[in-house]
Structure 1
């Protein structure tokens, strides 16, 4: 493999890592963000809760606000960007988009670190969401100028963001660094994103000649105009809004399974994780939540890095299995029939494997199946599926969490 290909694979891996890092950190820190702010509010207002005290391990202990609230702040701006960006953002410079991603990512860590209230924390989370959503549509579209293996490299990097993000947060806080100082350490990540795009990746000639020819003849069935470059023939296409909407229909067979997987997956992550803790074991409640995140992200990293070794063509099998995980772990919250936390860790790992597999196999199949001239738009548009699923999961997980907590379940 040439040095240029290695540079591109490494560059895309780091783009995936950096783009998802802030998102992962915010979800890993969600429990701490809410707990810290609620403790401050209780101290300032001298309020007494009416929920029975869990200090003796008798009742289920819950944050007053579900971590699903952080999930919604972390995903709704992303969803808005993904719903709209493929229809206009492809005409914007990639350099401008990447710089915006870098600045919003940097702002997210700084704002949350210095926040003085829940809503300021959520503003920081929204910055992370904007960076991640803009970045994902940008980098998947950007990948259309390279060989398809950069998609597996990017996907592996997003999985790496999960495991390294969750692990670094859990590790640094476990050794005594405060959540706020830990977030400040993470400000090096946006810098890595900048370096990866502008200095590591070697852009192909077709990227520099990306100028869509606006000579669309409505009386012609062909959208394509071919031009001869010095070395190769570059197909350029101008898509109208109608053309783009028409292209969404064949993408549904990829997007629907991915969406369902993410609904189930993030319902578990943000609706159930903080309710799955065990009393009187070697990990505290907070530590259990953090290490569930690490365990889940390990599964995501493994599966997102595996598409060149193990491809899954029947995408519909993944949502079926993920929904089975929802049933089992929801039953655990109510029935407490699983005797050991290691069994829950195994289920959480399997959940991550399914989620990562759905993500990478979906986009890899799109890169294989969709015609080259429509690939840039299709890859950007398909990113809507996971964010839509995550948003629905957040909407579902908040009332579910609150209802379960209101039951005062005995442990």
Structure 2
């Protein structure tokens, strides 16, 4: 009973002590009786702390807000810097490839091989499939920096080779063009894989750059050719673009905050350790996680079901099944747009176009190439405005354009001026569909939740290989059409 009474009697005292502590009063010493002097010091310190606490908190909040603003500014600067870097990389990765396409008709004519223009197009992508497959293999053995250097070296040798091919022969021109195309394919697969460590918005920067390569490459060729420069001189002048490409990657581009997300040991080998880091680096709040890739596993994938890693050919086949939808649609669109923009564009005005009194008809092939690349630039820069998930709709639209262009060439319905301007407009539409397919396909791949993060780079490489299949198919189609129903048009 007395214990209960004492406890009851002590309760108000404890409350008073608590109140004293809140006020920083002398009761604080009795709560911290380490020593009389120390207790007094603590009491005085407590009084000072509590009396000035609100001001300290305000100062800390202001300092924290200032640091946050500085950090936000730094991130904004880094974001724009990386956007520009990927824009430059996209531009100069594809610049030489576009110049070759723009020069195809002139190069073929210089070797009296007009009927083999499709072969020049094939040479531009001939090693593309091999280059992309080699890049997927090199991901386990070479750093991204080393692979970018390989792309630059291939481009430099290719430019120089085309420049001197007039003194060697048509076969040497084909070989050199193959190096230029291999550089573009290798670099594209490498840098698309590198983008997995950055926000999805930078895929749009890369896409805009590749679109600018189309416009810039064709415009530069058209301007220099109009100024009287030969094909050899134009390709010599293309060499400095290799230096800009290297500068953009090695010097200007800010590397991801977590090197482990892209290291050879973790990122390229598909280690599970960096999956969360890669996810955080890649996505932002404005980007939805999509589930497009089929994540269904067949009876032969028991090891994956049980969480055991698969390797080699088995892993490649599993990833290939995941991205079949992307690959087939991308290849179909590339096949249609390359048949249109190369073979059908070359015959769009018939064999008398060179003698036409109209400047636009005489230069219709180069202008059509520019129109196509202009459409590609617009649509590859539209990712922040237009996002397409059902990419098969773009496939259907591009196949309709193929049918329309084949009809135009066979019938000669739009020969001469001013009808040639209708062709220019239609070619812009072809570029719009093609560029929209490209940028949306790879943007969707970076956020598709049906693809494991450890397999994402391999899946991107596999889809990029479908591009080469589409272009090679287009080259073969161009050759068949030139020797059959379009033989009278050139």
Indicate the residue corresponding to 1:27 in structure 2.
101
Cα pair 1:34 1:67 within 8 Å, conserved: yes
Indicate the residue corresponding to 1:212 in structure 2.
265
Cα pair 2:275 2:454 within 8 Å, conserved: no
Cα pair 1:263 1:389 within 8 Å, conserved: yes
The structure-2 alpha-carbon separation of the partners of 1:90 and 1:239, relative to structure 1 and needing over 3 Å to count, comes to farther
The structure-2 alpha-carbon separation of the partners of 1:399 and 1:4, relative to structure 1 and needing over 3 Å to count, comes to same
Matches within 5 A, 1:276-287: 276-277=348-349, 279=353, 280-283=356-359, 287=363
Indicate the residue corresponding to 1:328 in structure 2.
404
Matched, 1:346 2:408: no
- Give 5+ residue unaligned stretches, structure 2: 1-74, 283-307
SS at 1:390's partner residue? helix
Write the distance in 2 (CA, Å) between the matches of 1:336 and 1:395.
Answer: 23
SS at 1:67's partner residue? helix
Higher helix share goes to which structure? 2
1:212 CA drift (Å): 2.8
> Which one scores higher on RCO, CA 8 angstroms, separation ≥ 6?
1
Write the distance in 2 (CA, Å) between the matches of 1:204 and 1:238.
Answer: 26
Cα pair 2:132 2:189 within 8 Å, conserved: yes
1:314 CA drift (Å): 1.5
The structure-2 alpha-carbon separation of the partners of 1:257 and 1:228, relative to structure 1 and needing over 3 Å to count, comes to closer
Residue from 295, 300, 317 that aligns with 1:245: 317
Indicate the residue corresponding to 2:116 in structure 1.
66
Residue from 118, 125, 130 that aligns with 2:170: 118
1:226 CA drift (Å): 5.8
Write the distance in 1 (CA, Å) between the matches of 2:281 and 2:465.
Answer: 31
Indicate the residue corresponding to 1:47 in structure 2.
none
Cα pair 1:257 1:315 within 8 Å, conserved: yes
Write the distance in 1 (CA, Å) between the matches of 2:273 and 2:426.
Answer: 51
Instruction: Give the root-mean-square deviation of aligned CA atoms.
Output: 2.6
Write the distance in 2 (CA, Å) between the matches of 1:82 and 1:207.
Answer: 24
The structure-2 alpha-carbon separation of the partners of 1:226 and 1:70, relative to structure 1 and needing over 3 Å to count, comes to closer
1:282 CA drift (Å): 1.8
1:331 CA drift (Å): 1.2
The structure with the largest alpha-carbon Rg is 2
Count of residues in Structure 1 that have an aligned counterpart in Structure 2:
375
The structure-2 alpha-carbon separation of the partners of 1:226 and 1:290, relative to structure 1 and needing over 3 Å to count, comes to closer
SS at 1:212's partner residue? helix
Cα pair 2:204 2:380 within 8 Å, conserved: yes
Indicate the residue corresponding to 1:364 in structure 2.
443
Write the distance in 2 (CA, Å) between the matches of 1:163 and 1:191.
Answer: 20
Cα pair 1:28 1:293 within 8 Å, conserved: yes
Matches within 5 A, 1:86-105: 86-105=136-155
Residue from 458, 470, 480 that aligns with 1:399: 480
- Give 5+ residue unaligned stretches, structure 1: 39-62, 217-221
Indicate the residue corresponding to 2:376 in structure 1.
300
Write the distance in 1 (CA, Å) between the matches of 2:215 and 2:396.
Answer: 25
Write the distance in 2 (CA, Å) between the matches of 1:307 and 1:284.
Answer: 32
Deviates more, 1:282-291 or 1:264-273: 282-291
